[in-house]
Amino acid sequence: MAAIEQREANKPKREKRELVFEMLITIRQHFPELFDWMRQVDDSRQKASTYELAAHLTACLAIFLFKSGSRNQYNQNRGDDAFRRNFKRLFGFDMPHGDSVQNVIALLNTEQIEALKHKMVQKLLQRKTFHPSRYRGKWFCIAVDASGVGSYDHERDEQCLRTTSKNGKVTYFHSVLEARLVAPQGFSVSVATVWIENPEGGEYDKQDCERKAFTRMADKLKTLYPRLPILILADGLYPYEGFFVICKTNQWAYCVTFKDGNLPSVWSQANQLIALQLSNTHSEKCLLPGGKTIEQELRWVTGIDYHGHALNCIELVETVSPANADTSGAKPEITRFAHITNLPVNGRNIVGTSQVARLRWKIENEAFNTLKSGGYGMEHQYARKSYTALKNYFQFMQMAHLIHQLMTLNTRFQEHFMKAANHPTLKNL
């Protein structure tokens, strides 16, 4: 009886240990060369150190792998003898002090640090990890969107953007444009990053700055993944001629949100063609758990010409009706989605095309929201002064997020770990 009670008492500790080793297994399985890649980064340190550079880079990655949330929390973990011993057993390195990590991260070439992430993504592409999620058996879905990384009441550095409110209050912030590979299975993986930096005019304008950043993003994507069949998913900021030209030049497909008021000539043609393409409709109805019903009404128009670009428009009206609506008096929720695409659409693929267009939300929910509120601390000031360090911390955050996704979306992990009662979380390591 005593032995059984002792095993039960040790169960939480054993489960946490299993979770940590599952993370290490994920790294070794997918990225066995990761620490060797780290050793290839140029060492910019001026003074001799007892730690090799890869030890500092591993420590920076560990801040996000263990969701420390701050360098201070990392240092508290470092002060625990058992934690420090286990860290060395896992990674093969002693733990440098968090301030030392900060000093090193602020020195390193940002392009070389981002290249570590690119090597990880390219390794997964070589292993065909994402191939099952290709749309129509060909296209890799790449969602593009910008997000704030930090907001300040002072000009933190020369690259800060700024906006002025109606009452004259000036807010400074950093913003980044991300391209992320998204998939229905849950993946939202950073494949390229472009920083939106201080515009010449001073004041930040989302449309102007993000569109300029996308031009740089397109060049980076084409350089990094020259033969990758890409399907760009983006919000209503992107339907403009320059975007269409970029995609046509790079032979990319796209499905982007089409807001009322965007491209008036396209809307005009679409409204005229609806009467000539009355058969381009599709409807579905299904029962949801809990008794709710969902109805989808799809319409589409093909053959729209916009400055030589052949466009197709899709409109989805989705109605979710509550259970027992007739007796409860609850009103149905109606949502409308409109998208514009250069993909061929017809009655056989229209449902899938609409669904893939709406995968764009994964860059917000399963990327930015997760990184901000899921323990990674995307808006936390890991580096209060160094813009270089801010960029490098951001890349290590993306690497840790990728490793976590590979681990938690694994079938074995889902079956063995996530279905167990009261399983520990990554935050509770």
pLDDT of residue 61: 96
CATH of 139-372, one of 3.40.50.300, 3.40.605.10, 1.10.4030.10, 3.90.350.10: 3.90.350.10
Cα distance between residue 39 and residue 148, in whole Å: 31
| Residues 389 and 106 sit within 8 Å (Cβ to Cβ) | yes
pLDDT of residue 200: 61
pLDDT of residue 356: 96
CB atoms within 10 A of CB 92: 11
| Residues 121 and 34 sit within 8 Å (Cβ to Cβ) | no
Cα distance between residue 352 and residue 317, in whole Å: 15
Residue 149 Cα to chain centre, angstroms:
13
pLDDT of residue 429: 45
DSSP string of 69-97, one letter each residue: -SHHHHHHHHT-HHHHHHHHHHHSS----
pLDDT of residue 324: 74
| Residues 314 and 230 sit within 8 Å (Cβ to Cβ) | no
pLDDT of residue 151: 87
- pLDDT lower than 50: segments of the chain: 6, 9-11, 429
pLDDT of residue 412: 65
| Residues 319 and 294 sit within 8 Å (Cβ to Cβ) | yes
Read off the pTM.
Answer: 0.90
Domain ranges within the chain, ordered by starting residue:
2-112+381-428, 139-372
Q: What is each CA distance from 84 to 6, 94, 95, 257, in whole angstroms?
A: 26, 7, 7, 49
Cα distance between residue 347 and residue 119, in whole Å: 40
